[in-house]
């Protein structure tokens, strides 16, 4: 079973304002999400993939 985070939960995880996630969704950026009715949910797998792909090291 896939676990999901709400926008508020993800914003708290990343120490962002939830509106930042709204803007990212409108711009087509940020992690993948699903919408069920009016509810937005972020699959944990998509969040972890996004974190891995956007982790920058000393290059």
Instruction: Please count the other Cβ atoms lying within 10 Å of the Cβ belonging to residue 4.
Output: 19
Task: Evaluate if pTM is beyond 0.75.
Answer: yes
**Tokens at residue 40, please?**
């937005």
pLDDT tens digits for 18-54?
999 999 999 999 999 999 999 999 999 999 999 999 9
Contact call for residues 40 and 25 (beta carbons, < 8 A): yes
The pLDDT of residue 32 is: 97
Domains in the chain (CATH in brackets) are: 4-53 (3.90.105)
């Amino acid at each position: 079973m896939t676990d999901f985070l709400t926008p508020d939960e993800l914003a708290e995880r990343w120490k962002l304002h939830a509106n930042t996630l709204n803007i990212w969704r409108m711009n087509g950026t940020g992690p993948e999400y699903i919408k069920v009715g009016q509810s937005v949910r972020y699959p944990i797998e998509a969040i972890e993939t996004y974190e891995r792909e956007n982790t920058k090291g000393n290059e």
